[in-house]
Chains A and B, each alone.
Chain A
Amino acid sequence: MSDPAAQNPAAQNPAAQDPAADDPIVFEQLLRLQAAREQRRDRMRRTGRQVVVLAAFICLLGLAYSAYKVVGTAIDDAQSGWPVIGSILPESDDLKMPPVLDIVSGVFEEPRGTGEPFWSIVGKEAAFTLREAAVGFAIGVLVGLSIAIALTTSRHLERALVPYVIASQTIPLIAIAPIIVIWGRKSFDFLPFEWQDWMSVSIIATYLTFFPVTINGLRGLQSPRSENLELMDSYAARWGQTLWRLRLPASLPYLFAAFKIAATASVVGAIVGEISAGVKGGLGRRVLLEAQRYTTGPERLYVAVLGAAALGIFVFAVISSIEYTLIGRKGRETVT
Chain B
Amino acid sequence: MNETGTAAGTPPVAVEIRGASKIFNTGRHNEVKALEDIELHIDRGDFVTLIGPSGCGKSTLLRLIAALVDANEGTVLVNGKTADRARLDRDYSMVFQRAGLFDWRNVSRNIELPLELMGWKAADRRRRAAEMLELVKLTEFARHHPAELSGGMQQRIAIARAMSFHPQLLLMDEPFGALDEMTREHMQNELLRIWSETQITVVFVTHSIPEAVFLSTRVAVMSPRPGRIAAIIDNDLGPRNEATRDDPAFFANVTAVRDALRGGHSP
Contact = CB atoms under 8 A, between A and B. Distances in A.
A245 B116 contact: yes
A194 interface: no
B114 interface: yes
A24 B183 contact: yes
A234 B94 contact: yes
B103 A230 contact: no
Task: Please indicate which of the listed interface residues B117, B141, B182, B186 has the most CB atoms of chain A within 10 Å of its own CB.
Answer: B117
A119 B137 CA distance: 62
Given A23-B137, A29-B153, A225 B100 contact: yes
A26 B150 CA distance: 8
B117 A245 contact: yes
A236 B87 contact: yes
A246 B149 CA distance: 20
B116 A227 contact: no
Contacts of B207: none
A190 interface: no
Nearest to A233: B68
A332 to B, nearest CB: 5
Contacts, number: 96
A335 interface: yes
B137 A235 contact: no
A123 interface: no
Given A25-B153, A234-B92, A237-B117, A228 B100 contact: yes
A189 interface: no
A234 B138 contact: no
B29 to A, nearest CB: 20
A332 B103 contact: yes
A25 B113 CA distance: 24
A80 interface: no
B102 interface: yes
Contact of B148 (A233, A234, A334): A334
A235 B114 contact: yes
A246 B102 contact: yes
B117 A33 contact: no
Interface in A6-60: 20, 23-26, 28-29, 32-33, 36
Contact of B117 (A23, A25, A235): A235
A331 B145 contact: yes
Given A233-B68, A249-B102, 9 more contacts: A24-B182, A33-B148, A227-B100, A230-B63, A230-B66, A235-B93, A250-B104, A330-B104, A331-B145
Q: For the complex of A and B, list the 6 residue pairs with the smallest distance between their C-beta atoms, beginning with the closest.
A: A234-B94, A25-B152, A331-B145, A227-B96, A36-B148, A249-B104
9 contacts: A20-B137, A23-B137, A25-B150, A28-B150, A225-B98, A235-B113, A252-B104, A331-B145, A335-B147
Interface of B: 63, 66, 68, 87-90, 92-94, 96-98, 100, 102-104, 113-114, 116-118, 137-141, 144-145, 147-150, 152-153, 171, 182-183, 186
